[in-house]
Structure 1
Amino acid sequence: MTDLDPFTDLLDYPMYVVTAEAAGERAGCLVGFASQCSIEPTRFMVWLSRANRTYRVAEHAERLTVHLLRHDQDRLARLFGGETGDRTDKFADVPWHPGPGGSVILDETPAWFVGRVENRVDGGDHVGFLLAPEAAENFTDDRTPLLTLNDTQGITPGHPAD
């Protein structure tokens, strides 16, 4: 198997918090594997680790919410990336409100979109969720620095990636 690290070590892509709700359960995690994947129709793919609780809730969710974080939102990044929902209620001290279809929207994030799950794709230790955007908000301007992979290097994941 070829090691991809020489290539991926050069990347500093945005990080996202993805939230899900199904059957009255809420979950959320920090995600680095995500991208728009189609212009027409507009589609976005987000990859969730099979190891974490967010994946288990998202398996049954009709919608996911994808949030961007500002560069200075280390507290939210650590909560959603360094804690596991198996032991911590990540929503207990975080302002949020219900969005379309019962989706979970974090109030403090600068931008988010809610997407209807159109398909799930097996990608190995992660599963891709193909999202059709239904609603979006942007509370930023062009100069708002966003949280990136390099900003999160000190966060120990709540679950191992595999």
Structure 2
Amino acid sequence: MIDQDTFVELMSGVCAPVTVVTAIATDGRPHGSTVSSFASLSLAPPLVSFALDRSSGLLPHLPPGAPVGVNILGAHQQDVAAAFARRHQGPGSKFDTATWTIRDGLPHLPESAAWTAGRVERHVDGGDHILLVVSVEEAESTPAAPLVYARRTFGTHSALAVAS
């Protein structure tokens, strides 16, 4: 088996979307966290997935059946990604750094490149993380360039020049 540092270095070379996953706590306060493990899982039915560290403060607010929002960040939202990546802030305090509204009953970052909302279908054990499978109920995309993360830096997608 490879060591953890080798695996971390390998995965740092994989370009990943940058999202902010959101939920509302039972006391009505918003919760959110930057997540780069977001992926399409199924077209029929429409399912997406993402993984959260077992120690994530967001995880207790996303049991199976819970509503969840995924804000797919635009290239102009690096500061939002950094703010929501910080750990151990008080509930709702991450939202002080961004413009947000309630959409589909969930915290929504309206300047995002895309948005999806749904319900947590199930949790899947993934070692030190939990994989959440989400049924998609709402979705909207814009032509905004997406924010991506690779080699420990933010960037965006660009088309390759076609060789002649």
TM-score of the superposed pair, with normalisation by structure 1: 0.79
Equivalent residue for 1:49, pick from 53, 78, 90: 53
Larger radius of gyration: 2
CA distance in 1, matches of 2:37, 2:122: 16
Long gaps (5+) in structure 1: 155-162
Q: 2:66 — aligned with what?
A: 62
* 1:28 Cα offset (Å): 0.6
* 1:64 Cα offset (Å): 1.0
- Is residue 2:101 matched to residue 1:97? yes
Alpha-carbon contact 1:65-1:115 (below 8 Å) kept? yes
> Secondary structure at 2:140's aligned position in 1?
strand
* 1:137 Cα offset (Å): 1.6
CA distance in 2, matches of 1:151, 1:95: 28
Q: 2:128 — aligned with what?
A: 125
Equivalent residue for 1:71, pick from 62, 68, 75: 75
- Is residue 2:85 matched to residue 1:114? no
Long gaps (5+) in structure 2: 155-164
The change in CA–CA distance for 1:114 and 1:38 in structure 2 (over 3 A counts) is same
Q: Which amino acid aligns with 1:76?
A: V
RMSD: 2.4
> Secondary structure at 1:90's aligned position in 2?
helix
TM-score of the superposed pair, with normalisation by structure 2: 0.79
Alpha-carbon contact 1:36-1:43 (below 8 Å) kept? yes
Q: 1:150 — aligned with what?
A: 150
Alpha-carbon contact 1:21-1:58 (below 8 Å) kept? no
CA distance in 2, matches of 1:58, 1:49: 13
CA distance in 1, matches of 2:32, 2:88: 9
**Aligned residue pair count:** 150
CA distance in 2, matches of 1:80, 1:7: 24
Q: 1:134 — aligned with what?
A: 137
> Secondary structure at 2:75's aligned position in 1?
coil
The change in CA–CA distance for 1:2 and 1:152 in structure 2 (over 3 A counts) is closer
Q: Which amino acid aligns with 2:77?
A: Q
Identity %: 28
> Secondary structure at 1:76's aligned position in 2?
helix
